[in-house]
Amino acid sequence: ATKCTGCGPGYKSPLDAMKGPREEIVYLPCIYRNTGIQKPDYLATVDVDPKSPTYCQVIHRLPMPNLNDELHHSGWNACSSCFGDSSKKRNRLILPSLISSRVYIVDTGTDPRAPQMHKVKGHPSTDMFLSGGFILLDGETFEVVGNWELPGEAAPFGYDFWYQPRHNVMMSTEWGAPKALADGFSMEHVKEGHYGSKIHVWDWTTHKRLQSLDLGEEGAIPLEIRFLHDPTATEGYVGCALQGTVFRFYRTPKGDWAAEKVIHVPSKKVEGWALPVMPSLITDILISLDDHFLYFSNWLHGDIRQYDITDRRNPRLAGQLFLGGSIPNDGPVKVVEDPENQSQPPPRTIKGKRIPGSPQMLQLSLDGKRLYVTTSLYSGWDKQFYPEMIKEGSVMMQIDVDTANGGLKVNENFLVDFGKEPNGPALAHELRYPGGDCTSDIWL
């Protein structure tokens, strides 16, 4: 059974979670920073139940009390790691702000379809979420307890992390210096060392930094990191934006950790773009709950890829789909050399709307059959690379997944257009289900 009376939140195992109920609503932070619209960011609730009269619509908006926060990623007060603890409930969504460093605690438990503000935490430091340290909040009061890492152990940069309690380990990644990325991307900043290329290994119990694995030039800007969901596994993958690579990290027979490159999406030589070479820019990655498929988005090229990872060291491309991007065949950019010999894709139109921007944040249904996609990466970079998305707003799309043989197909009847929001076009970002999902649940 997937549910049991008196148990804590989530599911007993990843395979149990796959049998969970179909998603009915999705939460997304929507951003107004850098759009010219002087309104606060907000948390949107979207109806994704095909049987509902409000299917494909934003049914609730919770505005933040401040301007220019740049909401980004979110997390829960509890996940499936608390499954055995009946005193825990998944009823608070934690929304940190990338620019203001405020933390908003949202009550999703009282009315999941209309979340309300529970608490606002001020900004301990303006670059809190991009420095290489971690802020620890009390799980009940959400008061700041202090730094999670030991004094002097902070990494040079920070971004994403994933922990695996069974192996007493946490992994973290590096984006870049807040000053460098605040208003756009520059290759000069990369050359000057303002972006990271390391993943860090932490002792989950003592909070000590044990290792820093330098992925080198090929692993520059490692963003999202994912352990396999199977809690016995001692390996996972990290997507590295700048060179379009995915590295597998793993525990060695000696007991320390190492990393190896397993996927490379080659850059394309182009004309009519900001640079003569266009990287794919791998941004979001996720793994299906059965650890069968890995998905990632190439935010500059404009495609989503699906890899069969049953052979962990040799991922095999199983599906690919273009959903916008910088190289549509009717646009100003011409691909003059592509090592993969792919033709430039036609523009993507869904429900009569030409998709602005490019696939970015991903969320998979528990059963692995539906992949949800939004197009905004971060307002400063959106403005630089996809100015039309600033004017038109981002979108949310749904992809049908062939879980037996691999393969991706657009659901032509699904589109949430954030260009039509009441306060003007918004930039919708990360996706969360109230009951937990592939990128927020960890098993013990």
**Distance from C-alpha of 388 to C-alpha of 89, rounded to nearest angstrom:** 41
Domain boundaries, the chain: 14-428
Q: Are 225 and 172 in contact (CB under 8 A)?
A: yes
From the list 93, 109, 100, 171, the residue with the least C-alpha distance to 134 is 171
Structure-derived torsion over alpha carbons of residues 240, 200, 374, 318, reported in degrees to the nearest 10: 50
> In this predicted structure, what is the pLDDT of residue 53?
98
Specify the pTM.
0.96
Q: Are 287 and 226 in contact (CB under 8 A)?
A: yes
Residues of the chain with pLDDT under 70: 1-6, 123-130
Residue bearing tokens 């990466």: 377
What fold is seen in the domain 14-428?
Answer: Methylamine Dehydrogenase; Chain H (2.130.10)
> In this predicted structure, what is the pLDDT of residue 261?
98
Structure-derived torsion over alpha carbons of residues 8, 12, 18, 19, reported in degrees to the nearest 10: -80
From the list 440, 309, 290, the residue with the least C-alpha distance to 362 is 440
**Distance from C-alpha of 145 to C-alpha of 288, rounded to nearest angstrom:** 34
CA distances from 268 to 9, 241, 320, 325 (A): 45, 14, 17, 13
* Chain centroid offset of residue 414 CA: 21
Residues 6+ away with beta carbon under 8 Å from 361: 283, 284, 297, 373, 374, 376, 429, 430, 431
